[in-house]
Structure formats: C-alpha cells, structure tokens
Structure 1
Amino acid sequence: MIKIKTNKKVVSDYADLILNSKGNYKSVDSKLNSWLLANLTHEDRATIIYIKSKLKSIISSNPKGLESIIKDFETKGFQSTIYDVGQEKLTSLGKEIEKIFNYKGFRKSAKAVWLANQLKIKSCAYCNSQYTLTVKHDRKTKLLFHLDHFFPKSIYPYLSLSYHNLIPCCASCNMSKSDKPYSIKDNIHPYLDSLDKIAKYEATNKSLALFLIDINKNENKIELQLNVRTKYLGNLKTENKLKNYKNEFKVETQYQQFKDVVGETYLKGLYYNSYRKKELSDFFKNSKNITLTQEMIHRFIIGNYTEDKDLLKRPLAKMMKDISEDFKLI
C-alpha cells in the first residue's frame, strides 16, 4: 500500500465540485434539502439534519476526521437508523442516503475523471501490482480502475463521496478487501501510512542461491517475502497493521507471480557494478550528448521508478526498488 499524496487545494476544489449545483448537476446539499422538505415529519429526520450540518466535513475531512464523524454519528444513535446490524444491510433510510450521495453516478461522471487526473496515480494504491489508468476513447474518458472505500459505503453511505475515503485500486484488491468496518488503528490507510516506510520486499538468500545453480530452471524456486522493516521490529501496532494488510490483500501470494522479475533484477545486480554504470553514463554523454541523471540511470537499468515519490507511477515499483537496494543496484 503506497501513500497517496494530495494537497489542501485539491481537496477544497473537489468539495466545491460535490457541494455546489451547476448546470444539470444537483449537489448533495440540494438533494438533502429536498429530502428534508419532503419529509417534515419523518421519525429519523434528525439523521439527515446531522449529515447536512456536517456535509462539508464529510466530504473534505482527513481520514482521522472521518473516523471521528463515524464515532459521533454512532454515539448520537444515527448509525442504527441507516444500518441494520442484524441483517447486515442498509435500512430504508440508509438506502435513501445512498441514493442522495449517488456514488454510482459519480463514478461515471466527469468529476471522477477530474479526481483521477488530480491524483496522477497509475498503479493500485493497495497492491502496486496492476495499472490504474484513465483513458480516452471515442471522445469519452473512462476510469479503468476502482475507487475503494476504506470505510465501506455499504455501512457508511454518507461517506461514499468523501475525498479521503476514495482509494484508487485495481479490481482484484477491491474484490479481495472485505466490507467489514476498518479502523485507522488496525489498518494501513494510504492517505496516512506508507507501506514503503513500514515494510520491504525481500528475496530469501537460500532461494537466490538455488536460482544461481541453474538460472534457466530454478527461477520458480525464488521466494519473495514482505517483511516489516528493522526499525519497526517489536512495534506491535505496526506489525499488526502489516499482518492485517497481508491477510486482506494476499499480496505475498500475488507477488509469487513475479519471480521472473526478481530473477532478472538479481542478475542485473551481479552485472551492473559502479564501473558499468559509469560506462553507461559515458556512452550517452559521449555518443549522444545526453546527460543521464542518477535517477534515470537507475530507471534504465531496473526498468522501473526507484524514487519514493514515484512509486505509484508504475506497477511493481516498490518491490523492484526494495530488491534493487538489497542487490546493490541502487
């Protein structure tokens, strides 16, 4: 799970898109007003009044703020009016709120495309193994990825359009992730935490030794693990978050499919010493008059991004960065 970068202006602009009516678009605020006018004596009217009073915070609050809203919503008794715990489904009022926020309509709208363009994410924030692209075809722009809800919209429909509750991810991760309530205490949140800081992918030394015995036959013997970084060993809170992440998204199982990438990177580590890196740099400088930055040299050799800031630009970037560091390529 790679940390997603954002800024206050983008969040503010997004809130304006959702909260203000424009053209044929009827904002969430307007729809809440319409519901209140049409339901003057509804027994759970207070639930909608609360959501309307907190609407801007609901749309723009950071993850911890959203969790506070959830707790306040539950404390005031509103959650029971929209979600039936026994039946594990939304009540009739919950379905009304789901309709008002209209995530399905948002998902198909230009607003979702705008959000995707602002985030500039090209790989799944959860697994970093598949692309999350926005493409234009026949004058229509489509999102070729899912937007997962950290706090499930099936339980908290009023958070279905919250900026920090929309996680760009691949279909596999969205289907793998359960609809059980998540908490910031127990789960890695991609707007707060960085898997790259918490853990690293490592190929076991034994499996690499077996690979070298016969690189043409033993590639499948490579073992790749996702381990907590040394600085967090013994940190039970962090170790628990990592454990929950691995159980939820099955990333270690997924990454067994990329043993060939690990093998190729390992061989590059054996070949590209400092002399050969300089030889590469000199070739472009002397024959092409091109000066390669160290970052570009690393990308050229590894075939992926290696800077922390770029890990969501291409699938497998984190894993390849981790093993390249271990193999002394970078």
Structure 2
Amino acid sequence: MTKLPLNTKALNKHVKELTKKIEPLPSISKYTIKEILEASPEKLHEIAKWFDTLSSTKKEEFNYIKTEYSNFITKDKIEYHGYILAKKLNINVCPYCNRNYTFTVINDKEISRPEFDHFYSKEKYPILALSFYNLIPSCHICNSTLKGREEFSINSHIHPYLESFHQKTKFCFKPLNADFLHNHESIKIRLFTTDKKALNSKKTFKLDEFYEHHRDMVVELIQKSAIYNESYIDELFNRYEGTLFKNKEDLLRLITCGYITDEDINKRPLSKLIKDISEELKLI
C-alpha cells in the first residue's frame, strides 16, 4: 500500500527484451514501442487519451500487442516472460489490498507468480498491454474478482507506482459495546480517507468489507497494548538487545506481528492495519 519502488533493472530488461520481440507498430502510432513499454504512469495516461481519439478500425491495428501479452504470461512460450518479470519485481504483498502474499516461485516442478493487473484495461487500451507501469503485480481477489474490467486512470484511482495509498488513508476502530474484548463482532473497523482517488480504490477493492474480517487482530492489538506498556517494552529490549533484537523495531515487529515502518508495509500482509491501529493504541 506504500508507493512501489522504482526497479530500474526490471524496467530496463522488460523494455530491452520486448522491444526486439514485438512487431513494428502501425504507421499511425504517435509513439515508439520503447516509449510505450517504458511509459511512466503519467505517460500511460497521455497515451491512453491519444488512443481514445482513434477510430475503432485504427484501434484494432494494435490488438496484436494484447496477443503478445498472452504469450508473455505463458512461461514456455518465450525466453523472457511474466514469471521472470514478477521475480525481478519482488513484490511480495498485493499493493491494492495489503491482505494477500504475491510471492513468485519458479523451480522444476512448481511455478507461481502474482497476477498482473492492467491499470489501464488491456481490452480498451491494447496498446498498453505490455507497458511496464501498466502491469501491477496483485492478488487474484483484487485483480480478477473485484477490479475485473472496471476502468482505472491516474485521475480516478491510486496508481501504486505513482502514489502511496498508505499516506492518504488511516485505519481506525470503534468498540460498539463493553463486550468487545470477548466478542469480535463488537468492534468496528473503518479505513478513513478524504482523498477522492483513495476513496475510489477503497470502494473498488471493498477494503472496509474485507477488513471487517480482521477484527480479531484489532482485539489482539488492544490486549497487547495493555500487556506491553512502555516500561515493559524497554525492559525486554534492554535484556535482549544484541541477541534476539538488533533494534527496537525488531522487538515491536515481534509484538505486533507486522512491519511498523512506512517503507516496510508491503513486506507482510496486514501491516498497514497493524501499524495504524498500533499507533492509535500508542503501542508503537
């Protein structure tokens, strides 16, 4: 949910390998294949707007790029493929929901990788079907079940390479009655934001609804905040510094079960929820 880091090596390999494999673009194209493949999120929007001005017949001339994408995600079709890209990106948690792992595993017997969501739909914009910043590694629930063919743009939704969803939102909770420590149904979780694009992303990926199923984690954090007061945390750190923990962050990660720094939220599922609620409880 934090802004995804620029992976220059992955970008350069993606552009280099596909530039020599994709057929020359139709003569009507305003852009070169290199420009399209390496287009930044802002450039993707520019290309999409230009593509919108073409007639249906002219748009169809770019459909072969969408076909090339089908080959790209099939491991045995070509030497450079989607599994290699996913491995190089090393994005291990879905940037849309922060709920599901997206590990890439490649060996002789098994292969697994995250799905690639086309931020700009490949059905509407086949010209962008292989653009590096249009391929967002994501979990199946976010990509196929929820987003589907909903139209995204950098003006309507948070683009993970352009903005940080984490910085624009905050999880909070509210006990509904005095029994909340023993009845998880008595806790309400909400993701608060005033940002229009963040609101749209929250709605698309049904984050409020899905995170209601993690109320048990909020209750556990409330319990931990009562047990691990500041003096007890300091005592544990002083006792085990240099042996079990190299710094206080290690200890707090053990206590909360999540990463607690902004830049590490994408390393483990639910770290956004854990960090926000832990801050509210003054646990971290």
Return the TM-score normalized by structure 1. 0.78
Partner Cα distance (1:82, 1:325) in 2? 53
What is the CA-CA distance between 1:245 and the residue it aligns to?
Answer: 1.2
1:238-277 equivalence runs, <5 A: 238=195, 240-277=196-233
Q: Are residues 94 and 61 of structure 1, via their aligned partners in 2, closer, same or farther at CA, if it must alter by over 3 Å?
A: closer
1:168 counterpart = 2:137: yes
Gaps of 5+ in 1: 21-26, 34-47, 84-90
Partner Cα distance (2:245, 2:265) in 1? 23
* 1:29-71 deviation digits (Å, cap 9, x = unpaired): xx237xxxxxxxxxxxxxx124485211110010100111122
* 1:299-319 deviation digits (Å, cap 9, x = unpaired): 111111111111111110111
1:32 to 6, 9, 24: 24
1:150 counterpart = 2:98: no
Q: In the alignment, residue 220 of structure 1 is paired with which amino acid? A: E
Q: Are residues 197 and 32 of structure 1, via their aligned partners in 2, closer, same or farther at CA, if it must alter by over 3 Å?
A: same
1:29-68 equivalence runs, <5 A: 31-32=23-24, 48-51=26-29, 53-68=31-46
Give the count of matched residue pairs: 279
Matching residue of 1:96: 64
Q: Are residues 82 and 223 of structure 1, via their aligned partners in 2, closer, same or farther at CA, if it must alter by over 3 Å?
A: farther
Return the TM-score normalized by structure 2. 0.90
* 1:230-281 deviation digits (Å, cap 9, x = unpaired): xxx5xxxx2x212211221111101111011111011111211111112221
Which structure has the higher relative contact order (CA within 8 Å, separation 6+)?
2
* 1:173-211 deviation digits (Å, cap 9, x = unpaired): 11211424322122111111111110111112x33xx3x
**Secondary structure of 1:312's aligned partner:** helix
1:225 counterpart = 2:190: yes
Q: Indicate if the aligned counterparts of 1:81 and 1:94 stay in contact, CA closer than 8 A.
A: no
What is the CA-CA distance between 1:74 and the residue it aligns to?
Answer: 2.9
Matching residue of 1:108: 74
Which 4+ residue blocks in structure 1 deviate beyond 4 angstroms? none
Q: In the alignment, residue 213 of structure 2 is paired with which amino acid? A: Q
Q: Are residues 291 and 253 of structure 1, via their aligned partners in 2, closer, same or farther at CA, if it must alter by over 3 Å?
A: closer
**Secondary structure of 1:168's aligned partner:** strand
Q: Indicate if the aligned counterparts of 2:120 and 2:128 stay in contact, CA closer than 8 A.
A: yes
* 1:91-121 deviation digits (Å, cap 9, x = unpaired): 5x4543422xx21221133532232222221
Q: In the alignment, residue 277 of structure 2 is paired with which amino acid? A: I
Partner Cα distance (2:19, 2:180) in 1? 61
Partner Cα distance (1:251, 1:325) in 2? 20
Partner Cα distance (1:309, 1:50) in 2? 42
1:81 to 44, 57, 62: 57
Which of the pair is proportionally richer in helix?
A: 1
Q: In the alignment, residue 266 of structure 1 is paired with which amino acid? A: I
> Computing the radius of gyration over CA atoms, which structure comes out larger, 1 or 2?
1
Matching residue of 2:19: 19
Gaps of 5+ in 2: none
